[in-house]
């Protein structure tokens, strides 16, 4: 069944390396989200699996069969474009029937299938409309129906929710996971929206500049980021650069630029005098009672939580997210002084990236 395996897949476009020796294995029925910034190679990877782009080197296997070089129409993997690519000269039902007749279904069967999938995406009465007559959300559902009708078990979605408004996006997100579950599809879903990836994925694949940085269940990527980039791109973190002053078993003491000292837990074998970067989730920083003295600079009320920006001595800024029950407007007056705490068990410590902290996260 649709198990997707990539072996050392590389692709270059001129001087740009889009994919650099990608290895990947996805299980049958798994919903994977490829997450990464623009230009990280997500779409290229998806198109290579679909057969729309040929890799320069490496191999692709679907269902244990090597499909490198097999044309797209023979792969039983169906790709959905970001802008849906509905055929403008065909009606909704003609759009859907295209894939069926192309795959040699009898007319009778094809028509039954069309009404079936139109039912699934709740567009029954729009069968004879042209794409231009539909709203963005409806077009999205037609594109999805067109893919589902082919009966392909492997669904490749390129930013499927990108063109929808925020409310609709949440709705369709639920629809997608319901359909995928019901039809037991293997889905690979490309996105740059972390909340989309976190909520949908059985497995998250984090990409950057043509490489896979981290892969695993969303909780694992969130709670155990393996790199500065992971911590930066998934969730929201504060990054602190400093020098390792002491290593005591797993406890590493870091001295920040402004002289402040913090602690973190790590098995990575840090040495004294080494440069390191500490990352803390914005919601894990404690306000009130802690060793760090900071002045409140900014308050952003965002509904269920509030975002507070503090400044340490020496100009270092720290953003803290506070959930609603703990946020009382009168307490958090701008200019007031607070004590902050950084729990060492929730602090991730990484070696200084070769391009420096800013190089690692600014290139995004």
| Residues in touch with another protein (CB under 8 A) | 47, 50-52, 71-75, 77-79, 81, 83, 85-90, 94, 97-99, 101-103, 107, 146-147, 150, 156
Q: Are 340 and 317 in contact (CB under 8 A)?
A: no
Residue 241 parent element (H or E): strand 237-248
Distance CA 192, CA 341 (A): 32
CA-to-CA separations, 307 to 204, 263, 299, 313, 314, in angstroms, rounded: 27, 24, 6, 20, 21
| Spatial strand order in the sheet of 16-26 | 16-26, 4-13, 57-62, 65-66
Q: In terms of CB distance, is 88 or 354 closer to another protein?
A: 88
Strands 211-216 and 251-256: unpaired
Crossing angle of the two packed helices 107-120 and 92-102, in degrees rounded to 10: 130
Rounded to the nearest whole angstrom, what is the least distance from the CB of residue 105 to another protein in the complex? 10
Strands 237-248 and 211-216: unpaired
Rounded to the nearest whole angstrom, what is the least distance from the CB of residue 59 to another protein in the complex? 18
Q: Where are the alpha helices (DSSP H) in the chain?
A: 42-50, 92-102, 107-120, 136-149, 166-182, 194-200, 218-223, 228-233, 356-362
Q: In terms of CB distance, is 93 or 237 closer to another protein?
A: 93
Q: In terms of CB distance, is 9 or 156 closer to another protein?
A: 156
Q: In terms of CB distance, is 107 or 331 closer to another protein?
A: 107
Rounded to the nearest whole angstrom, what is the least distance from the CB of residue 112 to another protein in the complex? 15
Distance CA 84, CA 66 (A): 28
Q: Are 153 and 76 in contact (CB under 8 A)?
A: yes
Rounded to the nearest whole angstrom, what is the least distance from the CB of residue 71 to another protein in the complex? 6
Token pair 């490198």 is found at: 68
CA nearest neighbour of 234 among 339, 68, 364: 364
Distance CA 234, CA 225 (A): 8
In degrees, rounded to 5, the angle at the alpha carbon of residue 115 between the alpha carbons of residues 114 and 119 is 115
Rounded to the nearest whole angstrom, what is the least distance from the CB of residue 141 to another protein in the complex? 15
Q: In terms of CB distance, is 146 or 173 closer to another protein?
A: 146
Strands 337-341 and 286-301: antiparallel
Structure token pair of residue 319: 């953003």
Rounded to the nearest whole angstrom, what is the least distance from the CB of residue 84 to another protein in the complex? 8
Q: How far is CA 43 from the centre of its chain?
A: 13
Token pair 């490489």 is found at: 211
Q: In terms of CB distance, is 146 or 153 closer to another protein?
A: 146
Q: In terms of CB distance, is 12 or 103 closer to another protein?
A: 103
Rounded to the nearest whole angstrom, what is the least distance from the CB of residue 143 to another protein in the complex? 8
Distance CA 345, CA 266 (A): 9
Q: In terms of CB distance, is 55 or 99 closer to another protein?
A: 99
Q: In terms of CB distance, is 34 or 110 closer to another protein?
A: 110
């Amino acid at each position: 069944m649709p198990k997707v395996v990539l072996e050392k897949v590389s692709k270059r476009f001129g001087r740009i390396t889009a994919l650099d020796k990608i290895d990947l294995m996805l299980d049958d029925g798994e919903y994977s989200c490829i997450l990464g910034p623009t230009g990280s190679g997500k779409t290229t990877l998806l198109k290579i699996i679909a057969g729309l782009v040929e890799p320069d080197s490496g191999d692709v296997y679907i269902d244990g069969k090597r499909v490198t070089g097999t044309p797209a129409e023979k792969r039983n993997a169906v790709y959905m474009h970001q802008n849906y690519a509905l055929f403008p000269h065909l009606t909704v039902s003609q759009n859907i029937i295209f894939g069926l007749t192309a795959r040699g279904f009898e007319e009778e069967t094809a028509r039954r299938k069309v009404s079936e999938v139109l039912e699934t995406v709740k567009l029954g009465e729009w069968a004879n409309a042209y794409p231009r007559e539909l709203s963005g959300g409806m077009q999205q559902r037609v594109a999805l129906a067109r893919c589902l009708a082919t009966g392909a078990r492997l669904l490749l979605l390129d930013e499927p929710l990108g063109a929808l408004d925020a409310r609709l996006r949440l709705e369709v997100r639920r629809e997608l996971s319901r359909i995928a579950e019901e039809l037991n599809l293997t889905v690979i879903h490309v996105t740059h929206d972390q909340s989309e990836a976190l909520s949908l994925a059985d497995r998250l694949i984090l990409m950057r500049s043509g490489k896979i940085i981290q892969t695993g269940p969303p909780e694992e990527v969130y709670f155990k980021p393996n790199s500065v980039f992971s911590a930066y791109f998934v969730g929201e973190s504060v990054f602190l650069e400093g020098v390792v002053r002491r290593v005591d078993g797993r406890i590493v003491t870091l001295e920040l630029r402004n002289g402040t000292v913090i602690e973190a837990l790590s098995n990575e074998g840090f040495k004294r005098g080494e440069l390191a970067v500490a990352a803390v989730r914005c919601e894990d920083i404690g306000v009130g009672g802690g060793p760090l003295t900071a002045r409140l600079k900014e308050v952003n009320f965002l509904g269920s939580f509030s975002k507070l920006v503090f400044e340490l001595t020496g100009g270092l800024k720290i953003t803290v997210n506070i959930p609603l029950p703990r946020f009382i407007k009168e307490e958090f007056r701008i200019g007031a002084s607070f004590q902050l705490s950084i729990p060492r068990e929730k602090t991730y410590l990484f070696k200084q990236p070769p391009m420096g902290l800013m190089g690692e996260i600014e290139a995004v």
